[in-house]
Structure 1
Amino acid sequence: MKILVTGGLGFIGSHTVVELQNEGFDVVIIDDLSNSSLEVLEGITSISGIKPYFEELDLKIKSDVKSFFSKHSDVVGVIHFAASKAVGESVKEPLMYYENNISTLVYVLQEMTKLNRQNFIFSSSCTVYGQADELPITENAQVKPAQSPYGNTKQIGEEIIQDTCKVNEKLNSIALRYFNPIGAHPSTEIGELPIGVPQNLVPFITQTAMGMRERLSVFGGDYATPDGTCVRDYIHVVDLAKAHVVALQRLLENKNTSNYEVFNLGTGKGSSVLEAIHSFEKVSKKKLKYKIVDRREGDITAAYAETSKANNVLGWKTELSLDDAMSSAWKWEQKIRNK
């Protein structure tokens, strides 16, 4: 069965492509290479032994999206990752984010709803919850006003899919709300490769350990948490990738109970920034230079998932630990810097 993965050369997308190929799916990748590299395609091929079909395509160009789907009308499912994802950048460039994350979703859905089989997995985010009133966060938690244009695009994206599902019973969709994906594939063939200064904690940790960054800034040491630093739910990217395959199979096997479903994807455990740093120091046996600085605007105090719905309904749960993720991220960083 042919599956389209948009943004399939990105961090989570590439790991998901590998897991799809491991399960025997015929994968087609679209990526505009704005935040990824063709080298990732080589990494995917090296791991799976199969080179997926790849087309460099900008989903903002509606005519190109139309043309692609006319050539690949036998696609039976779409996993939609393609989007800009940096919170800070979205605050500075809101219109770019709305164009890149919203118009592209609309164009993909417009073409997808013409297909015979319409199964859609959406890459959403725990940012839709903001600072939740209760922890751990369940799927029934209130969706709060977004803290950034990026978070808002995920909320709007979910609304667009819901509205489309209401009027199109053939469209079966699952929105997967990720917590904090980290780590790399154990083969070290693919991993997180940010362009420029990392926006996420773990690449900044590994780059600091490599000597590329003078030190790591820990934003805020006075939060109402056990050690004063923010708490997040760090999930290994391989576990996260496998969840996409399970969600897709749920739709393909008609096991969904409605044509729009939502699942949290996390470990169910919150770890503070300092705990993440100490985990890295333990597995790498390197002391990290870091300094606690002022809080960063838009950061919430704590977020971690209630995972029972994903565990019981999807039949999926995480298998890899924070230490596993840190170890794989460090091995990946060493490999790409020592090339």
Structure 2
Amino acid sequence: MNILVTGGTGYIGSHTVVELLNKGHSVVIVDNLSNSKIETLDKIKEITEKKVKFYKIDVTEEEKLEEVFTDNKFEGIIHFAGFKAVGESVKKPLMYYYNNLVSTMILVKLAEKYSVNKFVFSSSATVYGDNEVPFVETMKLLETTNPYGETKAMSERILKDIAKEDLNFSAILLRYFNPVGAHKSGLIGELPSGIPNNLMPYISQVASGKLEKLRVFGNDYDTIDGTGVRDYIHVVDLAKGHVAAIEKSKSGTSIYNLGSGRGTSVLELIKAFENANNLKIPYEIVERRSGDIAKCYADASKAKKELDWETELGIYDMCKDTWKFEKNNK
């Protein structure tokens, strides 16, 4: 298939591009490079020995994006492009609603115009709200706890409605949990601008000395040690989940959790990183962060049954690969 990947030079997008190329698909990337670097294209080529076509375009710019559709014949779309920081979304809700929703609507509009029926959407476990764990695809979604999560829930509703109206359209909604790790080559991984919003790159930057210590947001949650519990998934496993989803797509709406099915607390992840890499991570407990919930982990049995997909890499691999990438990118 020839597949359009929006946000394809980003963290999850770049790993997915690698796995698509490894499976023999052709890829066209659209990215505005707001949270990624152009050098990622060279690293993708080094890993796969294949080139990808790239357009530096913001997905909210409809006229420019339509030129990409007229220049290429796509058979599928994987949509990653969007703002993703929970804390920032609380402070800048309008920015998140505009960017994340408008980009989805423009992409779907062009997909319908140019008869691209396979659409994989990068959703999130945040759409479940503060629900009972484990999260399962059939459960009723509660009110999301932050604007970022709401943009994902609203985008899901848009895609579901399109799939109801257009019987040939395949909307694949991938609700994934906490991606961490890096490619085993150490060439691509999570490289945030400024202070990281996510836990694992924050830990690795403390380990490398870029940051003095880790801030742990709250230790009074109803969890094993009082710190937040999350379902961490290796980014390579997550990327392979996207490949499986688009290859096995069917008309209508399909929803899948992509997670390990296991919860790990913040303190447990710190300890795992220390043990895997023989390092010490200094940290301090600070107040809870707005928009966070206590526990979040998946029931991923549906993806295993219907996509023949499950995670293969564990916490140890996530910690080792993260640190290898950090050392390579000091």
Q: Give the TM bin, normalised by the shorter chain.
A: over 0.9
Q: Does 1:130 align with 2:129?
A: yes
Assess if the C-alpha contact under 8 Å between 1:117 and 1:170 holds in 2.
no
Match of 1:331 in 2: 324
Q: Which amino acid aligns with 1:283?
A: A
Report SS of the residue matched to 1:222: coil
Residue aligned with 1:75, SS? coil
Q: Is the 8 A contact 2:3 2:78 kept in 1?
A: yes
Q: Say whether the 8 Å CA contact 2:90–2:290 is kept in structure 1.
A: no
Give distance in 1, aligned partners of 2:56 and 2:275: 40
Q: How does 1:117-196 map to 2 (within 5 A)?
A: 117-132=116-131, 134-196=132-194
Over 3 Å off, 4+ runs: none
Give the match for residue 89 of structure 2. Answer: 90
1:1-339 matches, within 5 Å, as 1-72=1-72, 74-132=73-131, 134-251=132-249, 256=250, 258-337=251-330
Q: Could you tell me which amino acid in structure 2 is paired with residue 296 of structure 1?
A: R
Scaled by the length of structure 2, the TM-score of the pair is 0.98
- What amino acid is aligned across from residue 166 of structure 1 in structure 2? K
The 8 Å contact of residues 130 and 144 in structure 2, kept in 1 or not, is answered as: no
Distance 2:156 2:262 in 1: 25
Partner SS for 1:146? coil
Determine if contact 2:173/2:255 at 8 Å carries over to the other structure: yes
Deviates more, 1:140-149 or 1:151-160: 140-149
- Superposed CA deviations along residues 288-331 of structure 1, whole A, max 9, x for unmatched, are 10112222222101010001101111110000001100110001
Q: CA deviation at 1:65?
A: 1.6
Mapped partners of 2:274, 2:28: distance in 1: 39
Q: Deviations over 1:43-91 (max 9, x none)?
A: 111100001111111111111122221112x200000000010111112
1: CA distance between counterparts of 2:124 and 2:189?
Answer: 20
Deviation at 1:96, TM superposition (A): 1.3
Q: Give, in angstroms, the shift of residue 179 of structure 1.
A: 0.4
- Partner Cα distance (1:138, 1:61) in 2: 35
Aligned equivalents of 1:66, 1:192: Cα separation in 2: 29
- Structure 1's unaligned 5+ residue stretches are none
CA drift at 1:173 = 1.3
The letter of the residue matching 1:101 is N
Identity %: 50
Q: CA RMSD in A?
A: 0.9
2:48 alignment partner AA = S
> How far did residue 117 of structure 1 move?
4.0
Q: Please state whether the residue corresponding to 2:295 is helix, strand or coil.
A: coil
- Say whether the 8 Å CA contact 1:176–1:263 is kept in structure 2: yes
SS in 1 for 2:70: helix
- Per-residue CA deviations over 1:241-269 (Å, capped at 9, x if unaligned) read 00000000002xxxx3x510100000000
**Any stretches of 5+ residues in structure 2 without a counterpart?**
none
1:17 aligned partner, one-letter code: V
Please list the CA deviations of residues 13-57 of structure 1 after superposition, one character each: whole Å capped at 9, or x if unmatched: 000000000000010000001111001111111100001111111
The answer (yes or no) to whether the contact 2:4–2:27 under 8 Å persists in 1 is: yes
The range that moved more, 242-251 or 294-303, is: 294-303
CA contact (8 A) 1:207 1:333 kept: yes
- Mean Cα displacement is larger for which, 211-220 or 2-11? 211-220
The count of residues paired between Structure 1 and Structure 2 equals: 330
Which range is displaced more, 292-301 or 240-249?
Answer: 292-301
The secondary structure found in structure 2 opposite 1:262 is strand
What is the one-letter code of the residue matched to 2:160?
Answer: Q
Distance 2:78 2:328 in 1: 29
TM-score (norm 1): 0.96
- 1:115, CA displacement in angstroms? 2.6
* Amino acid across the alignment from 2:40: V
Range that drifts further, 188-197 or 138-147? 138-147
